Structure 1
Amino acid sequence: MGSVVISLDAELGWGFHDLVTPPAERVEAGRRGWSVMLELLEEFEVPATWAVVGHLMLDNCDGVHDDHPAPEGWFARERDEWADREDLRYGPDLVADVLAADADHEFASHTFSHVLFGRPETDRELAVAELERSREIAAEWNRSIDTLVYPRNDVGHRDVLAEQGITAYRGRSPTRDGVRGLFDSTVRDRSMLVEPVVDEYGLVNVPASLFLFGFEGAARTVAESIWADPMVELARRGIDEAARTDGLFHMWLHPNNLTDERDDRRMRAILSYLDRQRAATDLRVETIADVAGRVAPESGFSERATASWQ
């Protein structure tokens, strides 16, 4: 029995605050895309793993974070350029919408402030602080954190994850994005299925298969004018392959990738196709927690993930 996982990096402005020139269109699309994705997932009754930046769950802060061992200037944009942009810094209303949804979504962590764990400058102290703060905030919401999605898929400090009680993470994709990924799948007929594994720290690594917005710009426009949306075609191929096998197909995106109605149509087409295949076959739609519970049932992951929603 094959399965499909969808995970979302829910971050609003925190996904870009460290960039010299953040992409304005995507920065401004965060709230819109979040709401559209939540509505689409509800319409098609598709559960997903929502990896939330912990800071979004706050109502306010001083923008200084003196007790956080972040490098100098890490919170500068929050204090300065975005000081009056609470819509980019906070999102408790959006998080509450996810938790109240009828679909059985998984609440996961995307760290506290979108620190890149694989960078040399991210030391152990910072990794611990990011996870501890995220867990503290989650506890205030009566939630637990069992899954981590690394910001920008920059895997690191897995020993810290294990010590902090995290059980699973989204691993790097073995497949390529964009034009190269399209070539690999359609011309080379390379599989996009992935194999979840238990790593040396006892964590369940659930790798990504396909970034759903890896083929954009002029190339996307040309492809759509003469053929079809290439990402929809890739998603359908992955879904079909999972339905034929016992394999796992793991799609991911950011809500801020949905910048206009064309992006909405992409996601509607993918979710609609997934819904039809699920009805016609024994294909399952799972969260990362579900997969981890199958791969390492002795961890008790499934029980904790279910209990956190009750």
Structure 2
Amino acid sequence: MGSVVISLDAELGWGFHDLPTPPSERVEAGRRGWSVLLDLFSEYDVPATWAVVGHLLLDRCDGEHADHPAPNGWFERERSDWRDREDLRFGPDLVRETLESDVDHEFASHSFSHVLFGRPETDRELAVAELERSIEIASDWNQSVKSFVYPRNDVGHRDVLADQGIKAYRSKSPTGYGVRCMFDLTVLNRSILVEPTIDEHGLVDIPASIFLFGFEGPARTVAESVWEDPMVALARYGIDEAATNDGIFHMWLHPNNLTRERDDRRMRAILAYLDQRRSETELTVETMADVARRVTGVSTVADGHPTVSWN
């Protein structure tokens, strides 16, 4: 029997601050989407891995970050265009709501300021600073970080993750996203499930299965007009496969993907179906940390009951 994992890149403005022209609709939708998702997860009692940009845990800063080894200009938008947009730079209220939810969500890291770890200009010093700072702030909130989601899925410096006590990370989908993913699954009949593996650094790699907002724009509108939301259909396909086979169906998204009510309906339909199949079968919902604990093994067995611990 398989399981379902949902991971979220929770970033508000930090997901776009380095872009010349940030997508305004999604920038403004971050807070809305975050709140909608928290409500939906509570309604259907679905835990998720919330990978949060560390800067969001702050309630103020000068925008300078003089002790941070980021490239020149990295924090420029925070100091200029978004200087008066605290709603994009900080999110302690949203983080608090997440931690106080009646659902047992996982708090994970999405770096401190959304640095791309796989880029040549991101040296080890910067990677260490991004992780150390995000873990330090999380500790101030009494949160122990075990999972990491790479900004823009740009994998790099995995040794730094291991050195900082991270146990799991999300890698890219083996089938890709959007149209390519749908072609591979429906035409080539490939499995949508993924298998976690332990890499050479002892980290558990939990690949994504699908990006829930990888089929958008006119193509989505046309598909919905003649059939149904294609991503809902794909999610049901993955949930059904996880309910009958071994492996993980790993969905991911950003809160800022929920820009309109039709996006809310997509998520509601997916979570309602997940809840239904969970009640009908032995299907489980796991966080990334849950998967890592399971994969890294059972340390001892006493009185017939396994005791699981981090290696």
Give the TM-score normalised by structure 1.
0.96
Query: Separation in 2 of the partners of 1:297 and 1:288?
Result: 15
Percent identity of paired positions between Structure 1 and Structure 2? 75
The alpha-carbon deviation at position 119 of structure 1 amounts to 0.3
DSSP 3-state at the match of 1:207: coil
2:225 — aligned with what? 225
Residue identity opposite 2:85 in structure 1: R
- Whether 1:170 and 2:170 are equivalent positions in the alignment is yes
Query: Separation in 1 of the partners of 2:141 and 2:248?
Result: 31
Deviations 1:44-65 (A, max 9, x none): 0000000000000001001000
1:8 — aligned with what? 8
Gap regions ≥5 residues in structure 1: 305-310
Residue identity opposite 2:3 in structure 1: S
Map of 1:142-181 to 2, 5 A cutoff?
Answer: 142-181=142-181
Residue identity opposite 1:196 in structure 2: P
* Runs of 4+, deviation exceeding 4 Å: 298-304
- Whether 1:67 and 2:58 are equivalent positions in the alignment is no
- Whether 1:35 and 2:3 are equivalent positions in the alignment is no
1:255 — aligned with what? 255
Query: Separation in 2 of the partners of 1:86 and 1:7?
Result: 25
2:297–2:309 CA contact under 8 A, matched in 1:
no
1:193–1:250 CA contact under 8 A, matched in 2:
yes
DSSP 3-state at the match of 1:240: helix
Query: Separation in 2 of the partners of 1:218 and 1:167?
Result: 39
1:210 — aligned with what? 210
Moved more, 177-186 or 110-119: 177-186
2:298–2:308 CA contact under 8 A, matched in 1:
no
The alpha-carbon deviation at position 177 of structure 1 amounts to 1.0
Query: Separation in 2 of the partners of 1:299 and 1:287?
Result: 20
The alpha-carbon deviation at position 5 of structure 1 amounts to 0.2
Deviations 1:140-184 (A, max 9, x none): 111111110000000000000111111110111101211121111
1:208–1:250 CA contact under 8 A, matched in 2:
yes
2:51 — aligned with what? 51
1:307 — aligned with what? none
Query: Separation in 2 of the partners of 1:86 and 1:245?
Result: 46
Query: Separation in 2 of the partners of 1:302 and 1:253?
Result: 29
The alpha-carbon deviation at position 297 of structure 1 amounts to 2.9
DSSP 3-state at the match of 1:228: coil
Deviations 1:284-303 (A, max 9, x none): 00000110011003689966
Deviations 1:242-277 (A, max 9, x none): 101111100000000000100000000000000000
DSSP 3-state at the match of 1:176: coil
Query: Separation in 1 of the partners of 2:49 and 2:201?
Result: 22
**Length, aligned pairs only:** 304
Query: Separation in 2 of the partners of 1:10 and 1:105?
Result: 13
Query: Separation in 1 of the partners of 2:65 and 2:161?
Result: 22
How large is the Cα RMSD of the aligned pairs? 1.4
